[in-house]
Structures are given as structure tokens and as C-alpha cells.
Structure 1
Amino acid sequence: MKNAALALLITGGVLGCKSTTEEKEAEPVVQNGQNATQQKGLKDYYKDYFPVGVAVAPNTVEGESAELLLAHFNSMTPENVMKMGPIHPEKNRFHWEDADKIAAFAREHDLKMRGHALVWHQQAGDWIFEDENGKQVDREELLGRMKTHIDSVVSRYKGTIYAWDVVNEAISDNPDELLRKSAWLEIIGEDFIAKAFEYARAADPDAKLYYNDYNAIIPEKRDRIYKMLKSLVENDVPIDGVGIQGHWSIFGPSEEELRKALDMYSSLGLEVQITELDVSLYPWEKDQRELKPGESDEFTPELEQKQLEAYDMFFEVFRDYKDVLTGVTFWNLSDRYSWLDHYPVEGRKNYPLLFDEEFKPKNAYYEVINFEEE
């Protein structure tokens, strides 16, 4: 890594002496963790590359969290409150308050905002698949409910949300299947994906419409996602882009895998975004539910260095693909909270982001901003 030597000079989470004006601008104005506002943030370093976003909850747009957000990010994605279950908990009832709060913050501060996610096999709410007697609804009823949901949510935030994750995680993890087994697939059939995009386009013709998935860099699943996307494009389904969930780790993906995936997806004429970036300290073991014997969740200097090198490589590739990428979004603001603190191992602390638990920039942050303009 071209800046690895610099990392060895970093102690205590803050760079020591710096020689250039640009590097000095990167330092926090206040070093005690009480005020994270900086003279120059991630969004400023990457203003000629792509918007830099972050996943937020309603409390993220308050207090010191909001200060950190505004200092470093110019885009945001509601982490949970716009998913079907939270925002549409009953057939004839919507819960708008949390999503409205985030949308109002975006408008007030002129932030780009992504919508996440309209159709997903999780957090959908059982009501959408069942009638008043608890029996499974038929295809036409479910299509009608899907359309009502999409019409209602997309129309409400028209003009505020510029891009939607329309369908989320529809590709199976089983190499022998293309689409994931879900109630959407079982009741509607394979065209539930196309229908969701058609309904979203009708609800807001100006919004960018994305398919979003994880493990989208791994060759085997990448190829199946590509196959599905290619079919959508060839059949004139109104899709604009693909979201690559960047739930990665210090163990991968490799630079070769990342570049190959970006080449393949962009070859379809689709925009590409990194939608859920974090870099875990642990290998992905979905079925692990507790710490292994001898395993620790300490953020050691060795792990910090590996994470720094991973972030450095990822962002070097991102910069190389600035003509392809239309956004990079981190999944949560800082190590104070990450969904990875609870999944797959509940209570195992992870440190996957660029800001620590006190909202101070980590060593990896400086590596990400320390580059020469291409």
C-alpha cells in the first residue's frame, strides 16, 4: 500500500506532525471527541469522484452525530425506517414519523438521499402475504398490495429521494438456484422483480432505480446477479443501477474480484454504487453465534493495520472507477454503533468504520483521504 509507511507514524488515532496545508485541514478542529466538525471532510476530498453517504437512524440527525454527518457526508440512506415492516406495519396504516424526520433533515441541509428498500424478503410484515383469515393471498392481491406500498412510499418522498433500492437481495445464496425462495417468488413468480421496478418508475419517473445485494463481488454469486440484471435490461425493465453491498472484511474481497465485478456490472450500461460499506475484523461466518474459544473482540494494532490496508485498496479502486461509481455509502456512522455488533455474533464488538467510538477519525480515515488527485 502506497501509504502504509505513513500509518506507522500514527498514534492514538490522530496523526502527528504534518507538513502540507491539505493534511492539516484534515485534522479535527476539536480533538477531545466532543465536537467532530472538521474543516474538510470525506465529501470534500471526494467531491470530484462521487458522493459519500452514510446509513442513518432518526437519532443520527441529532446532536453530535448530526455534526459528524454534516462534516463528512453529502448523502444518506435510512438504515431501517423505510423498510416495509417499519414504515407500513399494517395494511391500512403507515408509520411516517421516523422517515419524515430523516427526509426533512436531508432537505434542510441539501443532502442527497437514497431510499432503502421497497421489496425485500425480510422486514416485510406478515400482513402483506396474508388475508384477514391468515391465509396466503393470491398473485393479483399481492401485486396490488406491492403497488399500493410502492405508490404510497415513493410518491411521499418524490423530489427528496433521488434513488431507490427497489428490490433487495433477491438472488439465492444457493449456487444451484437463481432466485431466493421467498413469499414474493412463491406467490407472484419470477416477474415480481420486474413488477416492482415498473411500479417504482410509475410512482417517480425521475428517481434512479437500483437492484441491491450482498456478496455481489464473489465470483459465483456475482455471475448469477449479472445474469439476472442482464435479463432485466434486455427485457426493458426500468432499472438504472446496481447496488453492491460492501459488507466486506480484512479478509476480502480481493482487488481483482472487485475490479472484475465493477467491469461486469457497468458493461450492462448500469450505474454502480457501493451501498453498505463496512470492513469487518472477522471472517464472514454466518452460522457463528458466539465467540470461539480464545477469540477476542479487541481492536489490536495488528487488526487496525489490516483494516487500514483494506480500506486503502478499496478506495484506490473506487477512485479508478469514478466514471462508473455514482456513490459510496458507509453502513453506519462510527464504531460507536454498527449492526455488526449484533450480527452474526450478538455482543461481539466490531470496529468496521472510519470513525471510532468517540467520533474521532481512525488511522484508516487518513489513509482514505491521503491520495493524490488523479
Structure 2
Amino acid sequence: MNKICKKKKTFIIHTAALILIFSLWLLSGCQSSMEDIESSEPVTAPAQQIDIEDSAESASDSEENSVVEEDDITDNSESIVIETPPVPSVEEDIPSLAETYIDYFPMGAAIEPFQTTGLKADLLKKHVNWLVAENVMKPDAIQPSEGNFNWENADQIVEFARKNGMEVRFHTLVWHSQIGDWFFKDSEGKPMVDETDPVKREANKTLLLERLDEHVRTVVGRYKDDIISWDVVNEVIEPGDPDGMRASEWYQITGTDFIETAFRAAREAGGPGIKLYINDYGTDNPVKRDRLYELVKVLLEKGVPIDGVGHQTHIDIHGPTVTSIIDSMQKFSELGLDNLVTELDMSIYSWNDRSDFSDDIPEVVLQKQAERYQELFEAFKEHKDILSGVVFWGIADNHTWLHSFPVNRTNAPLLFDQNLNVKSAFWAVVDPSKLPQN
């Protein structure tokens, strides 16, 4: 009897163990199946990050890698297409901006050295025949400390232009900004503007003008055979300051003598073959325009070798009027001076607007920009006898100072978009018949 009981007890234990093992197996199988089902659900990929300054390779893998096939999705799941972001590219089957205007004037763009390679370089080579350095030829970049000249970045732009049959403009020999503080320190290292003793102030003025003369002669002497067009002084007019002259350290220490010194040194170092410009923004404003006119007229009467006026032309889709821009050029041409548009861009915001469209710029805004560009360039072409060139302050919307000025936001001031493709503004300038009809 005990033997029978023991056998039954053993049988029950074995049976229970088998049941437990089987249950665990079933549970494991179900869990595995659930995991397989979950892993087959489509997953939206994160947006692709693209460096649009470099040459792009393939923007995405093959089409089948960007689509989740129905066979891979269980039961009622639907196919989901993962959109690939637009790829930066240079459109080859469109007219060249520079060639379109070959019978009018050169077309240029401001650049940084890193834009001399990759896709941006290809865009420049196709569309412009004039270059200007956005920053690397300014005083602090060229001579960061006294006697220490840095030519590498400037040389890179000059060499890129030479290899690709382009001209170069120089910007800028003298400016109140982006210049080493050492210029304005006296022989003891003290700020010149703080000096009150008349004798020492005169000595400081002499020292500052000597430093300026040396800077100008050294730079012009290096590039006179490569660069014809020169911004000699930049932004010296400010109607809100005393006498309408910008109250920079230059002006506080030397009056207008720094302007005379810079132009005379540039002419002597570069010879009669180079063209020397005084450059400023807001020249469409009659108050500022007239003060600049008065200054230039006096300087010309003193024999200062000024060849022309550079009109920066940082404008927006709301103003100023094209008429006011042309009127300013005509006024200076009456003095026998040349005119250049030196820093053209067109913000999609008015000056007092601090809003941000982000990546959703309304089409009506871009259309208005195109209309304004069309009006502007029709006027430029009509007045080509008083206008010798147009330079954009950039080439495409992915690189513009207006992304951070006057506030951080997305702007779109140029003819090519973030992916280097044409905008309506491009066709407005090159072939308005291709614009969408309202």
C-alpha cells in the first residue's frame, strides 16, 4: 500500500513539473510572438542632418530603404513613407546670373574662405564673376596686432577668384568696427580718446595716422595687381552724431583726416589703375545721403582721390523705394563719381518687425520679395550708365548675417534658398517670364 502511494505521489509530482514546464514554454512563445509583432511596427526616422557647405554625396539610401513594405507589417498596419529631406544641390540647367548681366555690369557675392570648396563653390562659379570677402579682409583679420599681418584667408579668396576667372573687391581698409584695439592705444598703451592734454592728443593723432598709413600701404601693395575695386573707408556717416559724422575713435582723434590719409595712401600704393570707394549703408535716406554728399564734395575739392560711392543696399520687402535708391546714385554721379551696389540683400521682415516665420515662410512673402527684386533690377539695368556693379551680401539663404541681425531668426534675403536652389527672386532677376502668374 505504501509502495502504491509513493508511486502515485511521484507520478503527481512529475505531472505537475511537466505542466509547469509546458506553461512556461507557452508563455515564452507568446511573449516572443508579441515582441516580433511590436518590432514590425513602422518607426518614423529622425530628420536627416545635412551639412550644406560640403559636397553632398547621396542624400538617402535607395527608395526601398525609405519605405516600410506591407509584407513586413502584420495584419492591419499601413505602409508609411518616410520623407527624405531636400538635398542641397547646384542646378545646372538654369541660366547663369553673371552671364545674364554680362552686357550690364558684373554680379558678385560676399563669401568666407570655407565657401571656396564644395557645393557653395560650385554655385559661385556658375553664377558670379565678382567676389568680396565678407570678413577676412577687414582690419582685425588682416593685422590683428601691430606689424603682425595675416594673409592666409585673404589669399585663399584671391586665389579662388584667379583660378575661376573672377574679379575681387576689397572690403575694407578702414572701419570703426572689427579693428584691433591696438590702433587706438598711445605709446604707453593707454586709450587715445581719454587723453586731455592738447600736446599729447596731437601726438596721438600723428601716431594713429602713421599706423593707418602703414596698414593701407602694406595691404594695397600686396593686392594691387589682383584687386581693382577697393572699399577704402566704411560707414563714416551717422546723422545722429555731432556734425553728422560717426563719433568713432577715428573721428574723435583725427577728425576727417583719417579719411584723407587712407585714400591718399591707397592711391600712392596702388597707382592710378585701382578704383577707390567710400562705402556706407542707408544712402537712400535723403538726410544721410546729403551728409555723405557734402563730405565727399569737400574731400574732392581738397584733391582726395575718391573714385566712387558704394551703396550697401541692405533693404527689405517693404522699403525703401527703388526710386530713392536710384536718386542717390544719380546725385553722386553729378560729382563725376561711380556707383556700386556693394552689399545687396532683401530681408523678408520690415526693420521694426521682430517676428519669425521659422521654416514656414508664406509663399506670398516670397512672391513679394520676387516682385521687389524684379523692380530693383529693372531700374539697375535702366541706369547702367551710372552703376558699375552689383554685389550680393551672400549667395544663398543658408548663410546670411540676417539670421542673427537684428534678432536670431530665419531669414531668406537672397536669390537661392537653404538648399542652394533657385527661388522666385532668382527668376525675377534673370527671367521674370518664368515667375508664377497671379
Normalised by the size of structure 2, how large is the TM-score? Answer: 0.74
User: 1:33: how far off?
Assistant: 3.8
User: 1:76: how far off?
Assistant: 0.5
Among 304, 329, 334, the alignment partner of 1:267 is 334
The residue that corresponds to 1:152 in the other structure is 218
User: 1:60: how far off?
Assistant: 1.2
Please list the CA deviations of residues 264-320 of structure 1 after superposition, one character each: whole Å capped at 9, or x if unmatched: 0111101100000000011224xx8xx45xx53442111101111110111011001
Residue pair 1:335, 1:357 contacting (<8 A) in 2 also:
yes
1:51 aligns with 2:106: yes
The residue that corresponds to 2:45 in the other structure is none
Among 349, 359, 369, the alignment partner of 1:282 is 349
The residue that corresponds to 2:155 in the other structure is 100
Partner-residue secondary structure (3-state), 1:325: coil
State how 1:34-49 maps to structure 2 within 5 Å. 34-38=89-93, 40-49=95-104
Among 285, 292, 310, the alignment partner of 1:225 is 292
Residue pair 1:244, 1:274 contacting (<8 A) in 2 also:
yes
User: 1:89: how far off?
Assistant: 0.3
State how 1:354-365 maps to structure 2 within 5 Å. 354-365=415-426
> For residues 212 and 93 of structure 2, what CA distance do their matches in structure 1 show?
43
Larger radius of gyration: 2
Among 371, 382, 397, the alignment partner of 1:309 is 371
User: 1:39: how far off?
Assistant: 5.6
> For residues 259 and 274 of structure 1, what CA distance do their matches in structure 2 show?
11
Partner-residue secondary structure (3-state), 1:177: helix
Q: Counterpart of 1:82 in structure 2: which amino acid?
A: M
Residue pair 1:37, 1:68 contacting (<8 A) in 2 also:
no
Percent sequence identity over matched residues? 43
1:343 aligns with 2:405: yes
1:171 aligns with 2:237: yes
> For residues 132 and 234 of structure 1, what CA distance do their matches in structure 2 show?
34
Moved beyond 4 Å, runs of 4+: none
Residue pair 1:166, 1:210 contacting (<8 A) in 2 also:
yes
* Structure 1: gaps of 5 or more residues: 1-30
Residue pair 1:56, 1:332 contacting (<8 A) in 2 also:
yes
Q: Counterpart of 2:388 in structure 1: which amino acid?
A: T
1:110 aligns with 2:165: yes
Please list the CA deviations of residues 315-354 of structure 1 after superposition, one character each: whole Å capped at 9, or x if unmatched: 01100111111110000110011000011102x1110000
> For residues 264 and 335 of structure 1, what CA distance do their matches in structure 2 show?
32
Among 248, 272, 276, the alignment partner of 1:182 is 248
Residue pair 2:108, 2:128 contacting (<8 A) in 1 also:
yes
**For residues 220 and 123 of structure 1, do their structure 2 counterparts lie closer, same or farther at Cα, with a shift above 3 Å needed?**
same
Partner-residue secondary structure (3-state), 2:173: strand
Q: Counterpart of 2:367 in structure 1: which amino acid?
A: Q
Normalised by the size of structure 1, how large is the TM-score? Answer: 0.86
1:352 aligns with 2:418: no
Residue pair 1:36, 1:64 contacting (<8 A) in 2 also:
no
1:161 aligns with 2:161: no
Partner-residue secondary structure (3-state), 2:168: strand
> For residues 249 and 177 of structure 1, what CA distance do their matches in structure 2 show?
29
Q: Counterpart of 2:134 in structure 1: which amino acid?
A: E
* Structure 2: gaps of 5 or more residues: 1-85, 193-203, 434-438
The residue that corresponds to 2:317 in the other structure is 250
> For residues 322 and 49 of structure 1, what CA distance do their matches in structure 2 show?
6
Please list the CA deviations of residues 85-133 of structure 1 after superposition, one character each: whole Å capped at 9, or x if unmatched: 1111000211111001001111111211000000100011101111364
> For residues 244 and 261 of structure 2, what CA distance do their matches in structure 1 show?
18
Partner-residue secondary structure (3-state), 2:244: coil
Q: Counterpart of 1:248 in structure 2: which amino acid?
A: I
> For residues 312 and 175 of structure 1, what CA distance do their matches in structure 2 show?
35
